[in-house]
Amino acid sequence: MIGWLRLFFVGGLIAFRALFNWISPALYIPTMLLGPIFQILLFAYMGRYSGLEDDTFFVVGNAVQISCMSAIYAGTMTIANERSYQTLAPLLASPANRFALFMGRSLPVLVNGLVVSAWGFCIGWWLLDFDPPASSLPALAFVVAVSVSAATAFGLTLGSIGMRARDVFLISNLAYYLFWVFCGVNVPLDELPGWAQQIGRMLPLTHGIEAARAVVAGGSLSDVSTLVRTEALVGLSYAALAYALFRFFERQGRRSAALETY
């Protein structure tokens, strides 16, 4: 049990430090902290100009969505970069527990996503007309944590596909921006066409963003419990799919000797 926990926590942290070249402050700050400022300001001022919604609507939507900069990109790279760096075969040759090996990599990604999302809320409070009641902050933090967890599971799914796909990073780039369209980040979900609403309900963040907006508006955690449970179920579904794909491509790669071929 101690070995399992060590692999989960220590192994995940070491993999996180090894696989991301933007972890240095010179790259992390512009990518993870400065970029989201302009995203939030852009959509908030566009919302003011159009009169669609108030600042709170755009701050909450974008502050939750910018967690995908870690959840999707880092989640993808936790698996796909092993193949790119040609370290996948030695990794899978080890007798390490596959579940701990795989899921342990999600924890640093999740923590980083929460930091980025919290930064987005702080920017909204500092620069825009966003001032949630203090009583809503614990419930808001819980909703955001569930949402970021679901998005991280989605990123791991893309990373698992990267064990066989030639260019999974194109898919992750596309997914990040499609979240703007389908998840109700900047346009209310009920304003989208019916087919787009159905896609959005199958993606992470959609129900979490709706729950976060309700909490900021004064709702309690019990008022949004259905939305939070749905978001958690979406995340668990993607986590199960990610792990199943990981094991499938591992077995397929062993049979075909194609773990690191493109």
Q: What is the DSSP string of 46-78?
A: HHHHHTSS-HHHHHHHHHHHTTHHHHTHHHHHH
Q: Where are the domains of the chain?
A: 2-253
What's the chain's length in residues? 262
What angle, rounded to 10 degrees, do the helices at 206-216 and 194-201 form?
Answer: 90
* pLDDT at residue number 203: 94
Q: Is the pLDDT of residue 17 over 80?
A: no
Average pLDDT, the chain: 85
Residue 259 or 77, more confident: 77
Q: What is the DSSP-derived secondary structure letter of residue 2?
A: H
d(CA 148, CA 234): 12
d(CA 168, CA 154): 13
Average pLDDT over residues 1-15: 73
d(CA 248, CA 106): 19
* pLDDT at residue number 26: 77
Residue 180, CB half-sphere, CA atoms under 13 Å: how many?
A: 11
* pLDDT at residue number 98: 76
Q: For residue range 221-241, what is the model confidence (pLDDT) as tens digits?
A: 999 999 999 999 999 999 999
Average pLDDT over residues 70-96: 76
